[in-house]
Chains A and B, each alone.
Chain A
Amino acid sequence: MTTDPRFDGPGPDQTWRDALAAGRLEIQHCTACDAAQFPPSLVCRTCGAPAPSMVAASGKGIVYSTTTVRRRDGAHNVSVIELAEGPRIMSRVTDLSGVVRIGAEVTAKAEMGDSGPVLVFVPEGSE
């Protein structure tokens, strides 16, 4: 044995993508200090323990900040969502009313994009 089994299997980015492709939002949980983290990594950024585990996220969050990107071919939303578990994630809020507010409650959803599944968020209650 020349490799460390704690790091066997696909890396955390691949594992995260595979989960999303199956329609699941995963984040990491550190069994040593109970911290939640995203994006995934080989180490817990809170306590330094190696190999935090991948766990299912609740998918619930609130809009931490938001911007409208205005291109010549149209405008679209970019938001940073603070997940109920704590970590933040960049995403898009697909809000039917057109106004995305900081503090709004949102829920994760996997949407099919041009090059695979994309994580987006929809307003609470509209999924």
Chain B
Amino acid sequence: MSDPMRGSTAIVGTGITNRWDAPGRTAFDQLQEAAILALEDAGLTTKDVDGLFCALSVSGLPVLNVAEKLGLELRHADGTMAGGSSFIFHMRSAMAALNAGLCDVALICYGSNQRSAGGKLAAMPDPQPYEAPYGALYPISSYALAAARHMHEHGTTREQLAEIAVAARQWAKLNPAAMMRDELTRDDVLGSRMVSDPLTKADCCLVTDGGGALVMVRADRAKDHAAPVPLLGVGTAVSHRQIASMPDFTTTAAVQSGAEAYRMAGLGPADIDHVMVYDAFTICTLMFLEDLGFCAKGEGGAFCASGAIAPGGSLPVNTNGGGLSCNHPGMYGIFTVIEAAEQLRGRCGARQVPGAEVALAHANGGVLSSQATAILGTPATL
């Protein structure tokens, strides 16, 4: 019997500012613009919103600030902060709240000005006394420790990681909104400055500004909107905060979040036409594809280096260019969902995946700490 949550809600609007380098704008400016665009896409206005879901790296009180700025009259709100995966946590929460009648129109939104505000990942107040004395670079050293262990256990190579950055760039070249569209070769990545072994600067995501937003409603109301994208399944998981506490450095809690999303959707990896995974670093793409079942554990390196995930490959992954080459305003997770929804709506131009019916969007938070997976479909998949 299918899960009653499967297809019970849908994304009916997406908003993306495409302003990746935008001095003079605050994080809230980026968020508001994305929210307005998403609501217009859904044929709604701020006056229709009665449920707000948001998280920001610049504010500990995001719900209060956003509600005030947008003039929202809220019946329900959720400011869950799980890092860059927060927005898929919000989708699961919005699905529950919509079905429980706690709200009718859910706005999920995010904005950042981290690039123009200083060019570094915005630091949130979250001291880690057991890590602080050692001068690890946050967050790259944590991902480097996971990558080094993956190499040790599975023979993964820097060359294989480099191919992930190259594939992302090839997709970005098909996306006019991507920030980095010039040529990038494997040798460019390998020759890039080493930051925290084995990861170079070119293994790292961009640091950009930007805003993104989603509008979700119940299935009974989705019919009234132009291009609904049903939410077929969504799962979340948290395994640790600091990297030393990660149960196994080579396997993330995407195993759990993916299993829950697949269970709810009644689908498996073989049913997925289009994949978005949060690529904060090249190693992330590799580990999430393994943990979500697109290849076996330990085979991610060979799989990614085979050309499978690049344009023309067997599994279209990160078709916007990803956090590596399109945009990365700090908490990138919402952009994986936006690209998945736009692919299913057939709006992606030169990078469109032909006939995409089911898409998976996966996001990560902290240092491989929180994982969240959403499976979206076209209305025909209901």
| Interface of A toward B, CB cutoff 8 Å | 13, 39, 64-71, 76, 78-80, 88-92, 102-103, 113, 118-119
Contacts and interface: CB of A to CB of B under 8 A. Distances in A.
Nearest to A39: B130
Contacts of A39: 130, 242, 245
B129 A88 contact: no
A104 B141 CA distance: 20
A67 B244 CA distance: 13
Contacts of A65: 145-146, 148-149, 152, 249
Sorted nearest first, the 10 A-B pairs with minimum C-beta distance are A67-B144, A65-B149, A65-B145, A90-B244, A68-B197, A78-B136, A118-B133, A102-B152, A88-B244, A67-B196
B141 A69 contact: yes
> Interface majority SS on A: helix, strand, loop or mixed?
strand
A67 B134 CA distance: 11
Contact of B194 (A13, A70, A79): A70
Contacts of A79: 145
B187 interface: no
Contacts of B130: 39, 89-90
Contacts of B144: 67
Interface string B232-261: 000000000011110001000000000000
Contacts, number: 70
6 contacts: A39-B245, A64-B149, A67-B198, A90-B130, A102-B152, A103-B152
B137 interface: yes
Interface in B126-184: 129-131, 133-137, 141, 144-146, 148-149, 152
B72 interface: no
A84 B345 CA distance: 54
Nearest to A116: B133
B245 A76 contact: no
B357 to A, nearest CB: 40
B122 interface: no
A64 B249 CA distance: 9
Contact of A69 (B133, B152, B196): B196
Which residue, of B129, B131, B134, B137, has the highest number of chain A Cβ atoms within 10 A? B134
A79 B136 CA distance: 9
Nearest to B148: A65
Interface in B343-360: none
Contact of A70 (B146, B196, B242): B196
A118 B134 CA distance: 9
Contacts of B149: 64-65, 102
Given A65-B149, A78-B145, 14 more contacts: A39-B130, A39-B245, A65-B152, A66-B145, A67-B196, A68-B196, A70-B194, A78-B136, A78-B141, A78-B196, A80-B244, A88-B245, A90-B242, A90-B244
B22 interface: no
Given A78-B136, A91-B134, A13 B129 contact: yes
A90 B145 CA distance: 10
Given A67-B141, A70-B196, A78-B141, A90 B131 contact: yes
Contacts of B146: 65
B195 A70 contact: yes
B138 to A, nearest CB: 11
Contacts of A76: 135
